[in-house]
Structure 1
């Protein structure tokens, strides 16, 4: 692999990134109490070069998870509070006239950071939401005919409140499909909630976090994860899971090939986080309920019956036989 100066750069060894992953995970779990699975899923999303949608009720730690992950990495971080009057240029940037030089200059917006924290993304209007599409998928921003490259690594962690409908705009299907995963934090266990009172009652533990890795180390880890082996039988299993959603009687629109690629990247990252250089079917079984449901559209009769996409995915995982060798 060549660098920007034309020299060859050796692809990092997968075993060398284990220390970095453990340090980040330990740093975040020290603040987000009782949610090791959600922390690991956030780390998997980062390493899979994806974006994370955290959907849950207020006060359960959605923003804290995003902030803790951002502060654990020495990189550029930007936070956007989405509101109904937020303009697309407030996110992507704007070209302005400079009296000093007599030229038009581009002033980048918060989307040019390594980690972008978007609070209450469903409060923004459709135009602002659509402004994120190109940056999340292509990792570029086009303004006034000029295309600007975004930083590497690049990840959007967006939160939304599912119970508050007034003043919100539901994310369209195309926007949801750009998120690698959608997770929920959930209420903590009683003992974990008591520990939260002890540790967060007097000080802001997130502000006390110190970076344990930098952007270059994360970029190396992302590069190394591409070497994680995926056997042909496992790849066929991933495809079978996605194709089964399209044939499910309750589904109007099933998982697309983009979803298959997202599941593959997530499985590779999960294997690396677990210390393996190969993917196993259990990786797909664990990640499918987080990668696939938000990409499905159910038939109207299924929605009226109170069914949800998660149960469809769980049904598919139970019904598709996994490779045993």
Structure 2
């Protein structure tokens, strides 16, 4: 059956069609820098002690990427996703991944309408701006794969009809780092679609004490207000996309990724190189620049590359260690 393209039904994500048709006017770099600071500070009202992780998620959002949060339960992964969505006033939807979840529970399904005797599409929770995939590795690979097209092409195909997802579209997935006998490994193709993999870790004692002081009554997420809106985020992403990446910087990115391929069973893919440059563009804007420098690549390399590497029989080093070696051994100015 030949796929046809169709916009999302009215009332679900009415902005999707227009966003895909028109190129928004970019914001000045200085305005986006201020925006990033405002969002990060707003989220830190809810998430204590993870300023670096908050900034990484903001960078991924502006760099048109997705984020995988891998950690033990209870450290704030879900709350971080909610706080980001609230801060930017975007439609937030949540998918609770379970062993019995079906692909149609993620993407949506055609339902027969008895009145007009026609099938109508009922969108799934993937039709949001910021989509939380909670404990994504509790669902079998078949269900996880329902996100592959959405994450790569910002569209969903159901029964031969392709529907565009809203803009911006970012998946923030959490992964259960415990109970390995009750979870499924993420397929390599799915891991490769996440721009970044982050770990929050436990807060420091003084940070946890401050967190307790904030949450003994009403949780701060309930009173959190937005500091920007969806249209501004779309314009900010266009600003990031226009950041200059000169050829020497592109060559340095290629050498970093090439090092992982030479020293691992499976190295980082060309998609990883693209993600690294997009993250570096957003990092440059966070720092108030209209161009990427090698430091931007170095700041983003660990979060962007390490989860895409499988070392196998090439030694005992994991992806983090191999990326650290690449940053140390690969010259900035070429061979």
TM range, smaller chain: over 0.9
Matched residue SS, 1:16: helix
Match of 2:254 among 239, 247, 256: 239
- 1:8 deviates by 7.9
Checking the alignment, whether the CA contact within 8 Å between 2:26 and 2:236 is kept in structure 1 is no
Q: Distance in 2 between matches of 1:37 and 1:76?
A: 24
Partner of 2:143: 128
- 1:17 deviates by 2.3
Checking the alignment, whether the CA contact within 8 Å between 1:281 and 1:323 is kept in structure 2 is no
Match of 2:187 among 160, 168, 172: 172
Alpha carbons of 1:296 and 1:6: their partners in 2 closer, same or farther (altered >3 Å)?
closer
Give the aligned length. 317
Matched residue SS, 1:68: helix
| 1:284-299 mapped onto 2 (5 Å cutoff) | 284-299=297-312
Q: Distance in 2 between matches of 1:165 and 1:299?
A: 20
> Does residue 321 in structure 1 map to residue 334 in structure 2?
no
Alpha carbons of 1:260 and 1:194: their partners in 2 closer, same or farther (altered >3 Å)?
same
| 1:112-261 mapped onto 2 (5 Å cutoff) | 112-248=127-263, 251-261=264-274
> Does residue 65 in structure 1 map to residue 80 in structure 2?
yes
- 1:298 deviates by 1.1
- 1:10 deviates by 3.9
Checking the alignment, whether the CA contact within 8 Å between 1:230 and 1:279 is kept in structure 2 is yes
1:115-168 deviation line (CA, Å, top 9, x unaligned)? 101110000111110111000101110011100000000000000112221221
Matched residue SS, 2:265: strand
Q: Distance in 1 between matches of 2:113 and 2:28?
A: 47
- 1:285 deviates by 1.0
- 1:231 deviates by 2.0
Q: Which piece of structure 1 moves more, 274-283 or 112-121? A: 274-283
Alpha carbons of 1:7 and 1:254: their partners in 2 closer, same or farther (altered >3 Å)?
closer
Q: Distance in 2 between matches of 1:269 and 1:57?
A: 28
Structure 2 stretches lacking a partner, 5+ long: 1-17
Structure 1 stretches lacking a partner, 5+ long: none
